[in-house]
């Protein structure tokens, strides 16, 4: 099987626009979650009034200004999730030094970007306009802005990539599914290079209302937004919605070596599973995530005992974090009793950025790649008392501050509504 490596990274997150600035702020313990109640009376009437919002500002300072990333006309043509994807793809491709011009290279490069929800703004605004004004009020750009696969579509049009052009939409598992599937396309020879990841931007009152009705969101920290997302903490009580995008350049190993590309890490394995249980609630025993992680390691040919770090999906919900915690322990403690839970290193970066839904898995895969590259475990913010009960939550969750530790092998997990679970195994590249 052809080996697949990561050669470029790009991200737009609530911490910053750009991978380096995001990572620096994450390691420094910054939080990208803020109050959104002043955005409109509709937001102010919702039970959850906090969100991980991409900061507005200049590109130089790690802020978002659409004009600095997009071409004239793009803002009309592309919904915000696709704009974030476009910006992240540009950063990732520059980082990888991959700007092909020959027909062969363009044909060997593909794009695979997913989104969980896409553009609710366009759905709502167009619905209201249509109700009032009828047919003539529907924009010719409505459908292209709406379609999830148009993030990938626009990126391939911009660069002329003629390889696979694909999109997953599997709720909050989207980002990992996109990267995992794309890695398989490279391994199978459908492409030599894949630009892949996830994007999301649906901080809309209707989305928040829906998630709040499903009782998924944190509602107790509207006055202290930085404390709202607290994965693994005893007092966690729901996730915080976030927006952004993560894009990686995946490349066949020999292709990367031949052009002298910088190799961040290798994609060693990918595992998918289903809870087959409930629309939104996990099984308590964490069987779904357990199977996903187990399959990712089997696919990688790596034993559970070799895993140095897990970037958890942990969204800060009572049931989800507990089930994942159980699954991680069941898998990584093994049966020989030699390993103690305290030696298992797992953190959830959602304390800092919230839950980026369809972008979460991609952004977190990037954090995992950087943990491997730099030998540092990113922190779980706001974790003061793991639980409940504390004896169940006895791993090292990297509370509050980053920890230096060599990471050779890591897992990054993502789980979504509908019971879909996935895990990707990333490792230090070794000849
Ligand atoms: C977890 O990290 C700590 C340092 O923070 C390290 O001492 C320990 O060996 C790590 N465990 C594993 C399994 O890598
Ligand atoms: C939550 O995280 C923020 C950002 O790091 C920090 O300022 C705050 O002190 C944390 N709160 C708790 C209770 O740990
Ligand atoms: C597996 O995916 C399903 C969907 O969210 C999800 O309900 C469940 O939380 C996941 N499993 C766990 C234990 O997180």
Catalytic pick among 177, 204, 313, 425: 313
Q: What is the DSSP string of 131-157?
A: HHH-GGGS-TTHHHHH-TTHHHHHHHH
- Give the mutation target among 332, 338, 343, 378 for probing the ligand 1 site: most ligand atoms within 8 A of CB: 343
Structure tokens at 238: 């729901």
pLDDT at 209: 98
Ligand closest to the CA atom of residue 408: 1
Strands of 281-401 (E only): list them: 309-311, 346-347, 376-377
Number of Cβ atoms within 10 Å of the Cβ of 319: 13
pLDDT tens digit string along 197-215?
A: 999 999 999 999 999 999 9
Q: Is the CB of 323 under 6 A from ligand 3?
A: yes
CA dist., res. 224 & res. 234, Å (int) = 17
Kind and range of the H or E element at 56?
A: none
* Residue 379 confidence class, pLDDT cut points 50, 70, 90: very high
DSSP 184-205: HHHHHTS-SEEEEEEEE----H
Question: Among candidates 429, 303, 314, 300, which has minimal Cα distance to 360?
Answer: 314
Active site residue 177: no
Q: Decide whether any atom of ligand 2 lies within 6 Å of the 382 Cβ.
A: yes
Residues 6+ apart with CB under 8 A from 84: 12, 54, 199, 200, 201, 243, 244, 245, 359
Who's near 325: CB < 8 A, 6+ residues apart?
A: 232, 286, 312, 314, 346, 392, 393, 395
Residue 354's pLDDT is what?
98
Report the SS3 class of residue 352.
Answer: helix
Cα(351)–Cα(276) distance, integer angstroms: 28
In a mutational test of the pocket of ligand 2, which residue from 30, 353, 384, 400 has the highest number of ligand atoms less than 8 Å from its CB?
Answer: 400
Q: Which residues pair with 64 in a beta bridge?
A: 56
Q: What count of Cα atoms within 13 Å lies in the side-chain half-sphere of residue 141?
A: 11
- How much is the pLDDT for 178? 98
Give the rounded percent of residues in the chain with a pLDDT score beyond 90. Answer: 92
Single out the catalytic residue among 172, 202, 395, 425: 172
DSSP 332-351: HH-SSS-S-GGG-BEE-THH
CB contact at 8 A, 422 and 270: yes
Return the ligand 1 atom nearest residue 407 CA.
14
Encode pLDDT of 107-166 as tens digits.
Answer: 999 999 999 999 999 999 999 999 999 999 999 999 999 999 999 999 999 999 999 999
**Residues in the chain, total:** 431
Q: Considering only CA atoms, which of 291, 229, 267, 273 is closest in space to residue 368?
A: 267
What is 92-110 written as a DSSP string? Answer: HHHHHT----SHHHHHTEE
**Token representation of residue 193:** 């290079």
Q: What share of the chain is helix, strand, coil (3-state, %, to 5)?
A: 40, 20, 40
What is the C-alpha to C-alpha distance for residues 185 and 151, in angstroms, rounded to an integer?
A: 19
pLDDT given at position 287: 74
Is residue 379 a contact partner of residue 430, using CB atoms and an 8 Å limit?
Answer: no
**pLDDT per position as a tens digit, 292-332:** 999 999 999 999 999 999 999 999 999 999 999 999 999 99
Instruction: Tell me the H-state helices in 10-133.
Output: 19-27, 41-44, 66-69, 74-77, 80-96, 103-107, 120-133
The rounded percent of the chain whose pLDDT value lies above 70 is: 97
Q: How would residue 60 be classed by pLDDT, with cut points 50, 70 and 90? A: very high
255 is catalytic: no
Question: Ligand 3: distance of its center to the CA of 286 in Å?
Answer: 8
In this predicted model, what pLDDT tens digit does every residue of 64-76 receive, in sequence order?
999 999 999 999 9
Pocket test for ligand 2, best of 353, 382, 384, 402 (most atoms within 8 A of CB): 382
Q: What pTM does this model have?
A: 0.96
Write phi, then psi, for 60 (nearest 5 degrees).
Answer: -60, -35
Catalytic residue of the set 204, 355, 395, 425: 355
Q: Are strands 265-274 and 4-12 parallel, antiparallel or unpaired?
A: antiparallel
pLDDT confidence band for 194 (50 / 70 / 90): very high
How much is the pLDDT for 284?
Answer: 64
Q: Read off the tokens for 61.
A: 């300072």
**358 CA distance to ligand 3 centroid (A)?**
14
Active site residue 172: yes
For 76, the token pair is 């009309």
Nearest CA to ligand 1 atom 13: 308
Task: Kindly report, residue by residue over 157-193, the tens digit of the pLDDT.
Answer: 999 999 999 999 999 999 999 999 999 999 999 999 9
**Which ligand does the CA of 279 lie closest to?**
3
Which ligand has an atom closest to residue 273 CA?
3
- Tell whether ligand 1 has an atom less than 6 A from the beta carbon of residue 285: no
């Amino acid at each position: 099987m052809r080996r697949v490596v990561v050669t470029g990274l790009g991200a737009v997150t609530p911490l910053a626009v750009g991978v380096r600035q995001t990572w620096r702020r994450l390691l420094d313990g910054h939080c990208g979650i803020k109050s959104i109640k002043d955005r409109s009376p509709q937001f102010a009437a919702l039970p959850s009034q906090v969100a991980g919002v991409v900061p507005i500002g200049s590109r130089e300072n790690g802020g978002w200004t659409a004009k600095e990333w997009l071409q004239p006309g793009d803002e009309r043509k592309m919904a915000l999730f696709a704009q974030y994807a476009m910006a992240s793809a540009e950063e990732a491709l520059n980082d990888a030094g991959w700007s092909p011009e020959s027909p062969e290279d363009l044909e060997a490069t593909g794009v695979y970007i997913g989104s969980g929800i896409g553009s609710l703004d366009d759905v709502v605004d167009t619905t209201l306009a249509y109700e009032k004004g009828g047919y003539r009020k529907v924009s010719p750009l409505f459908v292209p802005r709406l379609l999830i696969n148009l993030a990938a579509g626009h990126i391939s049009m911009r660069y002329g990539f003629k390889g696979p052009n694909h999109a997953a939409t599997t709720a909050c598992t989207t980002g990992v599914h996109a990267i995992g599937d794309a890695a398989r396309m490279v391994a199978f020879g459908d492409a030599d290079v894949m630009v892949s990841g996830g994007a999301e931007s649906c901080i809309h009152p209707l989305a928040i209302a829906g998630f709040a009705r499903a009782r998924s969101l944190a509602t107790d920290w509207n006055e202290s937004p930085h404390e709202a997302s607290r994965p693994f903490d005893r007092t966690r009580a729901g996730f915080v919605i976030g927006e952004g995008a993560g894009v990686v350049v995946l490349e066949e190993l020999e292709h990367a070596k031949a052009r002298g590309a910088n190799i961040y890490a290798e994609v060693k394995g990918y595992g998918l599973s289903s809870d087959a249980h409930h629309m939104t609630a996990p099984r308590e025993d964490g069987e779904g995530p357990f199977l996903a992680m187990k399959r990712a390691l089997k696919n990688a040919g790596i034993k559970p005992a070799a895993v140095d770090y897990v970037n958890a999906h942990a969204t800060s919900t009572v049931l989800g974090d507990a089930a994942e915690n159980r699954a991680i322990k069941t898998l990584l403690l093994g049966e020989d009793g030699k390993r103690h839970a305290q030696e298992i290193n797992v953190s959830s970066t959602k304390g800092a950025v919230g839950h980026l839904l369809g972008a979460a898995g991609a952004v977190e895969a990037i954090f995992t790649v950087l943990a491997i590259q730099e030998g540092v475990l990113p922190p779980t913010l706001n974790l003061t008392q793991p639980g409940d009960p504390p004896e169940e939550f006895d791993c090292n969750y990297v509370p509050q501050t980053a920890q230096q530790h060599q990471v050779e092998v890591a897992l990054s997990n993502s789980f979504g509504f509908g019971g879909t679970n996935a895990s990707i195994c990333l490792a230090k590249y070794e000849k």
